[in-house]
Amino acid sequence: MKKMIIKSLLIILVTIISIEAYSQPQPPATGSIADSLYNEGNIPAAIAEYRRIYLERPGDKKNLYNFACALSVGKQLDSCFKYLNLLVKLDTSISALIESDLITARKDKRWPEFENNLIGMLNIKFKNPYKDVEYARRLWKLRAYDQAYFTQVGIAARKTGMKSSVVEALWDFKFMIQERNQQELVKLLEEKGWPRVADVGPEAAMAVYLTVMHSNDGLQKKYLADIKKVCEAKELPWERYAMIYDRSLYNEKRPQKYGTHTWYNEKTKSEELYTLENTAKVDEWRKEIGLEPIATYLKRFNINYPLN
């Protein structure tokens, strides 16, 4: 039962866009032919197409980034590191350090050197932005693993169905990764405390929120006060607090307060609002923390409110 509950929770969050939660694997965004091939799991063909584009437009940073990611997924690590090093010279950013598609590259012995070089470049570009870089490193890794394999679940779901044995096996695998992440996070927080943006940067700080959000072991309730503090400090928008508050209620099979959670109804094949604690007060509660009316929010999910 525990695994089934967590699988349903993960389904709600399999795609995160601006850290918004959705209830099932979303169709891949349209892009280049290479991106389409990649999003359908045809990695060899995607690599060939990314390489063709690179030869035509070597300065195309987006293509170069996706090329390196595809090479990591395809386990062509010599080429992956070659193009990663070219990429960070063109675009010195944190992106590679939190990228789930680079997990295979992370396991390679060359990763620490790449990471150290990139951190050095970031320090020069942004004038030493991380006070606690070792804490940041551990959180970047957590974030990469938190977001890992959602693309693969989506591919399998589209090709074999959401309830296929292939998808179920992938969820079991994803569940094990999430459990490991949560255990690591608890140890980190006990050792270092809740990270602040000034110390580790926004990307690392968000890793903690995401890992807690994706747990089903009472972590949302355990760390709710910490999340409220970072929202009060304006390091997270209040919508994040509302989402994790509602998630803690969802985990306990209780009605939600702020109306942030939807779920996918297999019978009706549609997105639906999870049960509300009080329909008369929900907009009042949302307004208190600066959220838009629930009807406006639910339009994102093509849900009409009030419900029929």
Establish if 177 belongs to a structural domain.
no
- The three-class DSSP label of residue 12 is helix
- Do the beta carbons of residue 112 and residue 142 sit within 8 Å? no
Range of the domain at 67: 31-125
pLDDT of residue 30: 53
**pLDDT for the residue numbered 162:** 82
pLDDT for residue 2: 35
Residue 65: give its domain's CATH number: 1.25.40.10
Compute the distance between CA of residue 282 and CA of residue 267 in angstroms, rounded to an integer: 27
Number of domains the chain is built from: 1
Within a domain: 39? yes
Stretches in the chain below the pLDDT threshold 70: 1-30, 308
Domain for residue 72, yes or no? yes
Rounded to whole angstroms, the Cα distance separating 91 from 12 reads 33
Q: What is the pLDDT, as a whole number, of residue 308? A: 63
- Determine the Cα angle at 188 with ends 182 and 192, to 5°: 150
Look at residue 263 in the predicted model and tell me its pLDDT: 87
Average pLDDT, the chain: 89
- Asked if residue 46 is part of any domain, the answer here is yes
Give residue 36's identity as a one-letter amino acid code: S
With respect to residue 120, please indicate whether it lies within any of the assigned structural domains.
yes
Domain presence at residue 163: no
User: By the 8 A CB rule, do 207 and 143 touch?
Assistant: yes
193 exposure class (CB count in 10 Å sphere: 0-12, 13-18, 19+)? exposed
Q: Report yes or no on 238 lying in a domain.
A: no
- Spatial distance between the Cα atoms of 224 and 242, rounded to a whole number of angstroms: 10
% helix, strand, coil for the chain, step of 5: 65, 5, 30
Going by DSSP bridges, is the β-strand pair 262-265/270-273 parallel, antiparallel, or unpaired? antiparallel
Residue 121 lies in a domain: yes
Q: What are phi and psi of 266, to 5 degrees?
A: -60, -30
Residue 7 phi, psi (nearest 5): -60, -45
The first and second tokens of residue 50, run together, are 């990314």
Q: What is the pTM of this model?
A: 0.85
pLDDT in tens, 110-167: 999 999 999 999 999 999 999 999 999 999 999 999 999 999 999 999 999 888 999 9
- Which DSSP string do the residues of 204-264 spell out, in sequence order? HHHHHHHHHHT--SSHHHHTHHHHHHHHHTTSS-HHHHHHHHHHHHHHTT--BSS---EEE
